[in-house]
């Protein structure tokens, strides 16, 4: 059934139910922003309930960045604007999640999230207000609720953080609505409306509304420069065409500036709070150094094939072959009490829909392991052949699995086996020596180059992304005397 606008004369439009939300009735309601009557399948109380339930999962899956002062700073700015919005009474909550991807997203009911990865790319407090205001706009205009309504049967069946294999549920064990909500893409009209609302909220709070086109320009120019697509979808994938929207929001900014109010940008306040911010992966969640995945708390390392694209999430570490038809993933496996490693392997792969064709006990990194070849069908991938090793390490059971279509399996088998056998433990000293890259403030000197400054990151950021982080053109040079944000290896 296609959603339609309600007539002013109608009292009730359509009764409907969304799977996963009990007895949810559709009705006409007035949009708080537009004042128009429209079909809604979610009351405000249901929006809030969904947001609260989903917030708990977001926090568990993504982690909250442990920086109380930074959290308060972001929250204070967000709340200041939210209270000036059309829905000030919502239980607004603003959280910086511990993810390296460059993103911001909103859940129904007033739950707003920024990844720590987006913060270094904002030039001043006005741009931070613009991002937060944009996400507030999605909530006040009920975009989040409407998108959830339009999701298939009300169920957003995306695997939590499954970047490359979103249908590989047996390995992720997740098809949760909270993770799905943050994957929702808004249409062009919704994005433009949120840009306009964000500029209005920022101006009402005393910030330059030009922060909205400013942040859109920066995030748009980032494109592929940053490479930060790990963990969650980035801003470019969930907020389409930011560069094209710069000119579209310009009339709103011009009108707001013409009102005669005095606005501030607050660059120093933002930049000072970014010093020491973790950039890229957090070692507490595991991190990549090149093609090597290191997990200091769990004390292990694993090498992925050269040239494969890698991603680290709360539930699994994954890599995709350049050909796009093969995947390697590592994750923890449930281990029933008293089960042998062979029993665990059989149960794990059976749950994945894969049957053993041959297998053997072996040793991987000095650990007792079961290495097998499997065949079967995985939803979203189709028929696959898999090579998987299950083994115990430090009272936990892990699986490293390579998956490919049967016709391509032999082509990737050597890469699967080589990677599987690189698993090894880290000593206490090795684990303790792994430190994250962090943001530092630096005053540019004559002769500095973006390439040389990026070199201090140990490969964590490219010269082009570092220039963009500082609102500079990658082809130029840093201006002597300018205060820069740079990334320094741990």
Angle at 381 between CA 378 and CA 383, to 5 degrees: 65
What local confidence, expressed as pLDDT, does residue 339 receive? 84
The Cα-based distances of 211 to 268, 315, 327 in angstroms read 15, 35, 40
Share above pLDDT 90 across residues of the chain, in percent, rounded to a whole number: 56
End-to-end Cα distance, the chain: 54
pLDDT of 418-456, one tens digit each? Answer: 999 999 999 999 999 999 999 999 999 999 999 999 999
Q: Is 6 helix (H, G, I), strand (E, B) or coil?
A: coil
- For the segment(s) 288-432, the CATH number from 3.30.460.80, 1.10.3720.10, 3.40.1000.10, 3.40.50.150 is 3.40.1000.10
Checking if the pLDDT of 174 tops 70, the result is no
**14 vs 105, residue with greater confidence:** 105
Q: Is 175 helix (H, G, I), strand (E, B) or coil?
A: coil
What local confidence, expressed as pLDDT, does residue 167 receive? 36
- E strand residue ranges, 348-462: 354-364, 367-378, 382-393, 396-404, 424-425, 437-443
What local confidence, expressed as pLDDT, does residue 227 receive? 45
- For the segment(s) 437-488, the CATH number from 3.10.350.10, 1.10.510.10, 3.40.640.10, 1.10.3210.10 is 3.10.350.10
pLDDT of 332-343, one tens digit each? Answer: 988 777 789 999
- Tell me the pLDDT of the chain averaged across its residues: 82
pLDDT band at 259 (very low <50, low <70, confident <90, very high): confident
Q: Are 113 and 132 in contact (CB under 8 A)?
A: no
Sorted by sequence, the CB contacts under 8 Å of residue 59 that are 6+ apart come out as 95, 97
- Supply the DSSP symbol for 20: T
pLDDT band at 310 (very low <50, low <70, confident <90, very high): confident
- Phi/psi for 326 (5° steps) reads -140, 145
Distance CA 200, CA 134 (A): 10
**11 vs 154, residue with greater confidence:** 154
What local confidence, expressed as pLDDT, does residue 54 receive? 86
Three-class SS of 266-278: CHHHHHHHHCCCE
DSSP letter string, 130-148: HHHHHHHHHHHTTHHHHHH
What is the average pLDDT across 293-309?
Answer: 95
Checking if the pLDDT of 17 tops 80, the result is no
What local confidence, expressed as pLDDT, does residue 254 receive? 95
**182 vs 358, residue with greater confidence:** 358
Q: Are 116 and 98 in contact (CB under 8 A)?
A: yes
- Phi/psi for 158 (5° steps) reads -105, 140
What local confidence, expressed as pLDDT, does residue 218 receive? 85
What local confidence, expressed as pLDDT, does residue 37 receive? 60
What is the average pLDDT across 58-85?
Answer: 94
- E strand residue ranges, 227-346: 278-279, 287-289, 292-295, 300-303, 309-312, 317-320, 327-333
pLDDT of 390-409, one tens digit each? Answer: 999 998 999 999 999 999 99
Checking if the pLDDT of 24 tops 70, the result is no
Distance CA 394, CA 70 (A): 35
Instruction: Indicate the domain borders of the chain.
Output: 41-274, 288-432, 437-488
**43 vs 251, residue with greater confidence:** 251
Distance CA 429, CA 424 (A): 14
What local confidence, expressed as pLDDT, does residue 390 receive? 96
Q: Are 252 and 265 in contact (CB under 8 A)?
A: no
The Cα-based distances of 212 to 34, 243, 463, 464 in angstroms read 21, 11, 25, 22
What local confidence, expressed as pLDDT, does residue 469 receive? 94
Sorted by sequence, the CB contacts under 8 Å of residue 285 that are 6+ apart come out as 63, 98, 312, 314
Sorted by sequence, the CB contacts under 8 Å of residue 321 that are 6+ apart come out as 305, 307, 308, 327, 404, 412, 415
What is the average pLDDT across 7-26?
Answer: 31
What local confidence, expressed as pLDDT, does residue 342 receive? 93
What is the average pLDDT across 316-325?
Answer: 89
């Amino acid at each position: 059934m296609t959603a339609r606008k309600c007539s002013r004369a109608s009292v009730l439009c359509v009764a409907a139910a969304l799977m996963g939300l009990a007895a949810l009735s559709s009705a006409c309601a007035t949009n708080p922003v537009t004042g128009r009557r429209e079909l809604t399948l979610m009351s405000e109380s249901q929006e809030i309930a969904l947001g609260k339930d989903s917030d708990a999962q977001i926090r568990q899956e993504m982690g909250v960045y442990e920086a109380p002062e930074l959290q308060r700073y972001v929250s204070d700015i967000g709340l200041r604007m939210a209270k000036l919005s059309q829905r000030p009474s919502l239980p607004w909550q603003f959280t910086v999640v511990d993810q390296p991807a460059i993103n911001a997203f909103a859940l129904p009911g007033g739950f707003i999230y920024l990844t720590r990865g987006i913060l270094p790319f904002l030039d001043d407090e006005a741009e931070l207000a613009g991002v937060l205001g944009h996400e507030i706009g999605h909530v006040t205009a009920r975009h989040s609720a409407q998108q959830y309504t339009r999701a298939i049967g009300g169920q957003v069946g995306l695997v939590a953080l499954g970047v490359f294999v979103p249908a590989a549920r047996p390995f992720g064990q997740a098809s949760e609505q909270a993770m799905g909500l943050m994957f929702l893409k808004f249409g062009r009209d919704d994005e433009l409306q949120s840009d306009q609302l964000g500029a209005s909220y920022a101006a009402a709070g005393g910030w330059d509304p030009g922060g909205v086109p400013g942040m859109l320009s920066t995030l748009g120019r980032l494109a592929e420069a940053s490479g930060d697509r790990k963990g969650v979808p980035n801003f470019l994938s969930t907020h389409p065409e930011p560069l094209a929207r710069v000119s579209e929001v310009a009339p709103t900014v011009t009108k707001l500036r013409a009102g005669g109010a005095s606005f501030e940008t607050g660059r120093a306040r933002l930049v000072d709070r970014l010093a020491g911010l973790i950039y890229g992966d957090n070692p507490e969640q595991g991190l990549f150094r090149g093609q090597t995945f290191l997990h200091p708390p769990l004390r292990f390392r694993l090498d992925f094939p050269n040239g494969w694209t890698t991603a680290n999430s709360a539930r699994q570490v994954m890599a995709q072959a350049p050909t796009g038809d093969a995947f390697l993933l590592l994750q923890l496996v449930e281990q029933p009490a008293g089960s042998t490693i062979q029993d665990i392997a059989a149960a794990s792969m059976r749950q994945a829909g894969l049957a053993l064709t041959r297998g053997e006990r072996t040793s991987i990194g000095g650990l007792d392991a079961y290495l097998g070849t499997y065949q079967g069908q995985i939803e979203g991938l189709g028929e696959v052949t898999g090579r998987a090793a299950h083994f115990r390490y430090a009272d936990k059971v892990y699986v490293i699995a390579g998956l490919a279509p049967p016709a391509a399996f032999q082509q990737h088998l050597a890469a699967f086996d080589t990677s599987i056998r690189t698993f090894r433990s880290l000593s206490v000293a090795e684990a303790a020596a792994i430190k994250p890259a962090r943001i530092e403030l630096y005053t540019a000197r004559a002769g500095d180059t973006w390439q040389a400054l990026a070199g201090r990151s140990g490969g964590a950021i490219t010269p082009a992304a570092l220039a963009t982080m500082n609102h500079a053109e990658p082809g130029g040079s840093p201006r002597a005397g300018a205060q820069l944000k740079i990334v320094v290896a741990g």
